[in-house]
Structure formats: C-alpha cells, structure tokens
Structure 1
Amino acid sequence: MAQSSPVGFLVPLNSDLSVDGAAEQVPILPGTNSFGRNNLGVVDRRVSRHHIILHASEGGAAELAVEAKSSEILVDSSFATIRHSRISDERSPAAFRLLQVKGIPSWANSSAVGLQDVVQGNVIFAVLSNYMVDIDWLLSECPFLEIIPRVLVIHGESGASLDIMKMKKPSNWVLHRPPLPISYGTHHSKAMLLVYPHGLRVIIHTANLIYVDWNNKTQALWMQDFPLKNDSAGKGGCPFENDLVDYLNSLKWPELNVSYESIGQARINPSFFRRFDFSCAMVRLVASVPGYHTGSNLKKWGHMKLRSTLENFTFDDDFKGSSLVYQFSSLGSLDEKWLSEFASSLSSGVSNDKSPLGPGKAQIIWPTVEDVRCSLEGYAAGSAIPSPMRNVEKEFLKKYWVRWKATQTGRCRAMPHIKSYTRYSGQRLAWFLLTSANLSKAAWGALQKNNSQLFIRSYELGVLFLPMPLQGSHLPASFSCTDDNGFEQASPNPKGTLVGMRHTCLVTLSGQKTAEETDSSDHVITLPVPYELPPRPYTSEDVPWSWERQYTKKDVHGQVWPCKVQLYMERDP
C-alpha cells in the first residue's frame, strides 16, 4: 500500500524563530502522528518517546495533544512548531495571494487563488497585459471574456505566435504590442485592469496567460478594487494613480470607445483611469519602461524608482544592514559593478534615527538541477527558467546562491516563476516587491553617463509593500467591484483594539503569531512569501540550473534534458 503524502511538516526553529536549516523537518501524515525524543536533534529525557500526538486531516487541519507524564512542555530552539500556511482575508493588504498549484497538498492551496477567482463579475472593459497569451486556454478558463464589450490585450508575442493570436482572437478583442524602441527588449508586464459599472479592479501578477503558469508553478498576484471618485475628491492624483497613468501612457495603445453605465460613452485611454479613487491603495507601483531616462525621469522607472521610493520611508532599526533577497526565474548577463549598483538601490531607506539602513548581504534564490529534476513538471519546468551557461557559471555568483525551499507553503516541488525582492530580519520584512522583473539590466535598467542616465530595454510592472502609516480607529473601508453592497467596512485589528497605530508591520507566515504577540502597537500584515527566510546557502553538492546543459539522469517523469515542452494548448493547423 502506497504511503500517504504529507499534509504538513514540523519545522525546527532557532530562538529568533528563523528556520533551523541544519535540522530535519518532520512530515505530518493524515491520521495520527506521534512525535517525541526520537525526533529531536539532542537528547533530553524531559521529552518522552511519544511526547506529542497530532491528529491531522487531509485538508491540513490538526489537533494537538500532549501525552507526556510530565506537565512540562519543552519549548526551545531544538523543538519544532507547526507551520500553518493559511492566511485570513482580513490580514491581507487588499489581496496578496499565491496561485493554486495542482499536485500539492490541499492545505497548501487553502488560501491560494485561480484565474476564475479574480476575473469575474460584470466586467464591461478589460485590459489584459502579458508576455505570452494562449487564447484557446484563456477562453476555456474564462469563457465570458468572449462576450465582454471590449477587451484590450497588450502582449509581447511576435512571429507565428502573433499570427495565431490574430486568427483566434474574438471579434471584441483588440491586440496591441507596445513599441519596443531598443533591441532585445520585451513587453513583460503581467497585469489586468477590469472595469466594472462602479469601480476598477487592478491585478498585478507573475504568470503568463498559459496553462502551465496557472497550474504547475509557484506564482503570486496582488489585487485591489477601487471605486469611482466622488464629487469631493481632489483634482490631484495620489502617487499610485500618477504612477499607473504614467505607465499606461508609455504603452501607447489605440483609444477605444465603451458605453459606461455611470457616464455614457467613454474613451478608454490612460487618462480614463483618473476617474477612480486610488487613495486607499496599500502598495506603490514600481515599473520599467524602455528608453534612455534622464533629468526628472531618472528616478521614475526601474531600480531608480525603487531607490527613490525606499529613500522616503523610515524603517525599524532591526533592518540596519539586514539581508536582501533576489528571487526570480530568468538570469541575465550580470557583472559585479551592476550588482553593486542594484544593491545600492535596494539598500536605500533610513532607520528611526534617520541614519541610512546601509548595505545588506544579497542572496540569490535559484533552483538547483535536482530541484528541477524532482519538481512537479520534472525537467520541463526548466524551460521556464532561462539560464544560459555563460550567465550561470560566472565565478563571482557563487557567493550569492541560496536554495529554493518552500516547505511551509507546500511548494518545494512547484518551480518558481514568481519574481520577488525583499529586505528581511528574522521573519519580519522591511518591504516586499512582487514584480514581473527578473534580475537583469534589461528589466531594471543600468546607469550610464556618470549616473545621469538610466538605460532600460523592457516593460515591467510590480507592486511594493511598505510599512504604510495607518490613522483613525479602524482600517479603511474596503470596496468590492463584485459585491452587491460595494463597500464593506474592513474588520478592526485582530485584537479588537483601536488602530491608532504608527505603521503596519510586514511579516512572513512563519512570523505571524510572534509579531501579533510582541508588536502590539503595529498592525500586523502577513504576506504569504512562499520561500523560507533565511534561505539556505548552496552546499558543495548543489549545481545551479542552466537550461543549456544536458542532463541524463531521468526526472520524475522518466525524461532527460533537453526534452520537448508544450506551453500552449494544441492548436488547429
């Protein structure tokens, strides 16, 4: 009889609640599990051989009982605690979610979403921005996109793929490929703008509009709904609004006319989106636009936009000199000079005493060959992790490599297509960026001409989570485009006290409980960061994945690499 798959793990922690990478994680199986002295890395006779009994269900729920004769429960750095990956709606900044993955335990998808969960309701106009678009799959997943009055698809396809798109697109769709004035640039941004009769839904995510990206890989999205402005709204836009409209203007799409319920006929151009109230946006936009950016535009895009945004925020002293994580799925041609330039931007910001946070140690999360071979897709997953050998095998990169480990979210075997960057201390986050941008000069830009010019090749788009200040006795009212009532008052803070707080506190799933207990003056926002922090360094046995190598050891599907990979649904000849 085949052994059941684990529904969770006991995860060993250090005293600061960071994951103890030197100790084994203990799988939790459906049914009754017994844990005790034999599961510890040290000998302690205060712990019996069956100290804890844990009854777990297939769905990930668990009941814990202490069976030891002694009433003393040992709690120290060598004992494990349960890592529960569920995140409740009221803790979410509007919505930051991992995408659902097929083939992982049900508990790992309990708070994850699929395409149908976010693209829904009475949409009258849609902007779908992406790099790759499989129209056959997209319409099979969301058939109502065929009957929305207007759909604008902003894409990065070319050649035969674009010809197929033109042939298969519904009559209500308009295809637009933004101008790419610089060679080797791409339109890589992944976003959706869904216009409803009384509001706008903004979704920024990391997945191409193809089957494998929404089913087999670690991905994420951020979503928030915004109402129409009322008569009392000021004329000037908030930073989120201005950044969004500036970015949309760069795409130069053709104007479209749509019948809009509240105002009649409307021309859909970038300025149209100023009709919506973005004042409650819980994130900042960080975008890249191709070009040579100078003067007032120098800090408008790419890593210089991230630098200028972080420079204006004050962070807790814990983040002085703290580590940086770069996590992405395509490795550009890097050099040490540019990595120093990039790290300088990501190290920006000041502490409470107004002194700079200072540089932090950079860590690059990158899958190993074994990670890819043993993944849900096997070697086929490596086709979405572009990595020429000349880029991967640079000697100076060895000090940066750290492992992809996502045990606490059940996604170790779901290879990452998510792109994220963060600065952390323990399980607390100074900030967190979810983006389409891989680690490359083309995506982030490179300074030129004595740092007076930023050169960018590609379009990218991301959202930056920051310790935003909150004022008043409750959280802001939340607006829903798909709810009949429109507005719902967000819950007070989880402890039931007033939210007269200085700022929000960003934490990982692993740090949620401790932050709530110790940071009573902060509103704790839990972000479902899929990977472990701190990440584990490569060992001498680990080899970074490169898609140009040949691998003859068979994967979980009996394949070797290279092998044929199908990214689009079967297409008619």
Structure 2
Amino acid sequence: MSQKSEHGKWTVSSSDESVDEQDNCDKPSTSLVQRAGRDRAGEPPYPCSEARKAAQKRKSSPLEFRDGNFSSEVQPAPKRLSQEGSGWCLSSSDEEGDCQVQAKRGDAAATSARLEGDCAKEAVKDELPLNHSSTGPSVRVQDTWDLLNGGNPFRFFLTKVKGIKSKYNSGALHIKDILSPLFGTLVSSAQFNYCIDVEWLIHQYPKEFRDKPLLIIHGEKRESKADLHEQAHPYTNVRLCQAKLDIAFGTHHTKMMLLCYEEGLRVVIHTSNLIEDDWYQKTQGIWLSPLYPKLPPGAPGSAGESRTNFKSDLISYLMSYKSLALNEWIEVIKQHDLSETRVYLLGSTPGRFQNTEKEKWGHLRLRKLLKDHATQVTDEDSWPVIGQFSSIGSLGADRSKWLCSEFRQSLVTLGNSAKSPTDQEVPIHLIYPTVDNVRQSLEGYPAGGSLPYSIQTAQKQLWLHSYFHKWSAKASGRNHAMPHIKTYMRVSPDFQKIAWFIVTSANLSKAAWGAFEKNGAQLMIRSYELGVLFLPSEFGLDTGFFQVKENLLSDEPASSFPVPYDLPPEKYESKDRPWIWNIPYTKAPDTHGNMWVPK
C-alpha cells in the first residue's frame, strides 16, 4: 500500500498487509524466490520496515551538510580499521570475518569526538576489545560467569554499546555473550523476531554451534518471505516458521530465544531485532532466564511450575501459533523445571477475544496480573505511569479514545482497587526521542530508522505530544545510544519507588496492546508481542515497591531496580519536536556531519 504526501512517498511493508497465507514451517526453498540475484542498491539484504530501509540508504549514500545546505549523495570515505575497539570479538570461537561490525562502521572515535558529554573524547581509549583485555581471557570468562549467576536478581540486562566508556557496559550483554558456550552446550535453538539477517545471526553463534538445528519464527509474507528464504537457503540446519497474521496491519514483533542445552533450557525475552544495527549502538533490554534443569524421568509436564505460572503461560503463548514445529518446543518446555522464574509473562497474539479469553493477552492481561498480584500503595492516584517506546501507532482523535480510557485503566490497576477510568487523573509520562536526541546520537540521523513514527500518524494526534518527555540516560552513559527498548512502569511521585516494571517488545499502539470492540465485549489484537512483568512481591519485598537504582554502576542494594534512563523524565520544551522518520531534517548536521532526507 502506498500513499503520497508533501513529504514524499511512504509504503507499508508486505508483512503488514491483510492477505493471509497458509502457515509454513519448513526448510528454506529457492522455489519461493522470484527475485534471486537482484541488486537493490542501498537497501539492507534482509526484510525490514521502510524506516529501516531509509536509514540504510542514508548510511550508504549520506547527504553531507555544507554551509547550511546539503550536498548531493556522496559515497562515504573509506575508513581504516581501528585496532583498538575493533568490533565485537567476544569469545575464542570468533574467527576472522566474524568481526564485520567495525569494517562497516569505520572508526568509532570519529563519531564519539563529535558528541557532547563526558564520554566523548575518552570513548575509544577507555574501551578495549573484549578478547584483548590486559587482564587476560580467564578474567573475562569469570566476569561473565559472575554477571550471569550473581548480583542481578532481576536478570534484567542492557545490551552493550560501542563507542561509550567500557565502565558503562559493565553488566551489559551482547548477543555473542548470550549464545556463548559459557551459557551452556547448545543442542538446538529457536529465534522469534521481526527483522532478521540470517547470515549475521548464524555468525553470532560460536563456530561449534552453527550447524545445530535452528528454527526461525517470522511474520514475513510474499516478497519479504521469499527474501528470507533466499537468505536461509545456504544453511541446511535452518527451518523457517511463518507466524499467522490474520488481521490487517499486524506484525510478528515478538523477540525471544529458546535455547536448549545439554545442561537444560534457557528463555531469553528481549527487544532487539536480529540484525547488526540493533546490537551495536542502541539501548536494548534483555530478560535472561535461569538455566532450567530437566525434570526427572516420568515427571508430568505440569511439574516444574513457578509461582508466576510462567511455564503454563509460555506454553499457552506458543500454542497460539498453531504450529507443528513449535509443538516440538512445547514438549521441550514440559520436560524442564521452570520453578525458579520470578517474572510474569505478558504476551499479545493476533485475534478477537471475548469473555475470559480477553484476559489472556494484551493490556487486559496486564490489568488482570496487576489486579491479582500487585500491592496497593498509599496515595496511589499520585503515582505516575511512565511509558517508554520506539514507535507509536494511531491512538485516535483524542486522549479519551484509548490512551486515557481502556489503556490507562489497565496501567493504573493495583490490587483489587477498582476505579472508573473517568475518575482517573493519574499522570502519564511518555518518553520518546526528540529530533535533537536523534541528531546528537552516536549513529546520527540514521538512528531514527528504528524510531518509525510517521508524519501521517503524528498529524492525526497532535494532542499526544503534550505527554512527551525526552530520552535522557546520562547516568548510565547511554544518552547518545538511542532507545529501541520498550519499558512501562508505575512510579512514586518523587520517582524513588517502583510499583511494577515491564520490559517488552510492545510499542505504544493498539495493534500491540489490543483495543476494545463491541462496547468492550471484545478485545482485538493485531500483532504478536512478548514481555515480562516484574513485581516486588516475587522478589521478597513486602513493601509493595522496588527502590529505584539511580546509579547503575553503584553498589546500591540488590533490591534496587536498574531503570535504564534518568528519572524524573524531562518534559519536551517548546522548541522540541518528536522524531518523525519520513520527513527531512536539513537545518543542522548530525554527529557525522550529515542531513536526513529519507527518500
């Protein structure tokens, strides 16, 4: 579907269209490929959104700022590989060719030197390649083991960011860390995601695991599906599973890894696409499960359940795909003990749900969890809700259509207290990057390719922008790493306490969280999403709240929750505008000296 506006042509990706296809879990086949060998200059080699394609185009053909004007497209100047900070070489399994990041990115110091902030000039000299640490590989292995097994009761991590001080990456993970042999001896894995670069993904696995069975669950259709099959065809161990998207404009947005080891099972729920860009200079979130041991032979599949019912909820989520390939993984989960899980699973799956089915998914699932398990707090009406996300859907003509009615009612639920949504005046703070946030980022304007808020949507809901707050993460050293993470939480008026916290793939949209139909009798959800809910009661806190961990590098109590951005959030000033990807920005250069003209 295409439309034209004063800002140019924009396109909805093929995976968003309404025509249905039969679910397909099979080996990649070139019989689907109609365009093999085509050359699409400037486009990424994997299916993705139009915003991502625009970012890739501007990276390959930047528009340089010159005396207040932008030049014609120029090819980026060749850059030498830096020997220090030379990419993500994280384990002994890396070989030449795995560290492709730096070759494609150029010298990180050139970018860092343009940035404001205390990390600018020291970024490169303070950061050593992880396999060339002066303390030796054994210390690095021990550090990773400690990170995995102690000091982080929430098992909530951020991704590593290239180009910032190494101390700010303390406690962070890269995908190669997650797939490292240190985490287990891999037998097979499943990767659920939206945007997937198969070749890059395969090379994130250690060499000894690259031929292990890999199931990729995606939502691509027609031409994009053919592209994915073309990518996967060289890898005989890879199977593709197409998630059904029966409702128009839905996406398979869930980001999860299922990792089956000789030693047990691990579940990873995160916010990163399976592409190089998302693991390089963005702020992303990860929940990493414990290593779940196998149940004794003969134990029933219902054994090994957690207090949070995580096992049965994960099985229900996988069953919603109605896929034979995922039935195999359901059996694997049944064979393991998930009783150590302390988080609640919060998922969305496409469909129209009535009666008790409504409470299984989306924002009504959150409402039920908070009603049944959250603890009431004093003066709860004064506790704000914070939503932080990387994309925004169409929310209606005014705030009463969804945001401040059904969605807010779910977000403000605490225990059995029930108030009419019309009586609620709980403050809502929405964190979304400004144009200047993006312009001054490590990536510059192309970072906005992962913030796909369109002018067509923004123009219809100018009322929403009064809720916006800037992205600010100075305390964590990630102020210039744009967020692709999505988080939601309820905080005290002084921003020192948290009643609950969510990390999820779900952006601020009705497609992700669901919207009422038939006067509230039915909940309609378009997309697959997945996240986890943290409640204080599951971590031994009877106060009803977590303390906010203000300094992520400090030795504050383990019960302090590591919020990945600064609190309180800073409201937009009169000159600030939300980042909108499909309009030009030509009045000021970004950190690479370039402009943004998406088409």
- The TM-score normalised by the length of structure 2 is 0.68
How far, CA to CA, are the matches of 1:375 and 1:508 in structure 2?
26
- Assess, with a 3 A threshold, how the Cα gap between structure 1 residues 316 and 460 changes in structure 2: closer, same or farther: same
1:403-442 correspondence runs (5 A): 403-425=470-492, 426-442=495-511
Is 1:549 the counterpart of 2:583 in the alignment? yes
1:3-402 correspondence runs (5 A): 27=118, 58=126, 90-93=150-153, 95-121=155-181, 122-144=185-207, 147-169=210-232, 170-224=235-289, 225-230=291-296, 235=302, 237-238=305-306, 239-255=309-325, 268-312=328-372, 313-317=374-378, 319-335=380-396, 336=399, 337-340=401-404, 341-350=406-415, 360-393=426-459, 394-402=461-469
Number of aligned residues: 443
Specify which structure has the bigger relative contact order, considering alpha-carbon pairs within 8 angstroms and separated by 6 or more residues: 2
- Give the counterpart letter for 2:548 in structure 1: T
Question: 1:280 offset after TM fit, Å?
Answer: 1.5
Question: 1:163 offset after TM fit, Å?
Answer: 2.5
Of 508, 524, 527, which aligns to 2:548? 508
User: Cα deviations across residues 391-415 of structure 1 (Å, max 9, x unaligned)?
Assistant: 3342311320111000011111111
- Assess, with a 3 A threshold, how the Cα gap between structure 1 residues 420 and 145 changes in structure 2: closer, same or farther: farther
Query: Between Structure 1 and Structure 2, whose CA radius of gyration is higher?
Result: 1
Runs (5+) with no aligned partner, structure 1: 1-24, 32-56, 61-85, 257-266, 472-500, 517-522, 565-573
When structure 1 is superposed on structure 2, of 88-97 and 551-560 the one drifting more is 88-97
- The TM-score normalised by the length of structure 1 is 0.71
How far, CA to CA, are the matches of 2:120 and 2:271 in structure 1?
32
Identity %: 40
How far, CA to CA, are the matches of 1:171 and 1:26 in structure 2?
47
1:428-507 correspondence runs (5 A): 428-469=497-538, 502=542, 505-507=545-547
Contact 1:145 1:151 in 2 (8 A): no
Question: 1:140 offset after TM fit, Å?
Answer: 2.4
When structure 1 is superposed on structure 2, of 409-418 and 501-510 the one drifting more is 501-510
Runs (5+) with no aligned partner, structure 2: 1-115, 129-145
Q: Which has the higher helix share?
A: 2
Question: 1:318 offset after TM fit, Å?
Answer: 6.3
- Assess, with a 3 A threshold, how the Cα gap between structure 1 residues 147 and 380 changes in structure 2: closer, same or farther: closer
2:21 aligned partner: none
User: Cα deviations across residues 165-202 of structure 1 (Å, max 9, x unaligned)?
Assistant: 32332111110111111111110000000011231100
2:133 aligned partner: none
- Assess, with a 3 A threshold, how the Cα gap between structure 1 residues 430 and 502 changes in structure 2: closer, same or farther: closer
2:561 aligned partner: 527
- Assess, with a 3 A threshold, how the Cα gap between structure 1 residues 450 and 355 changes in structure 2: closer, same or farther: closer
Question: 1:164 offset after TM fit, Å?
Answer: 3.4
How far, CA to CA, are the matches of 1:123 and 1:113 in structure 2?
18
Question: 1:470 offset after TM fit, Å?
Answer: 5.6
How far, CA to CA, are the matches of 2:596 and 2:504 in structure 1?
29
Is 1:558 the counterpart of 2:598 in the alignment? no
Q: Provide the secondary structure at the position in 2 that maps to 1:304.
A: helix
How far, CA to CA, are the matches of 1:514 and 1:315 in structure 2?
29
Contact 1:206 1:219 in 2 (8 A): yes
- Give the counterpart letter for 1:362 in structure 2: I
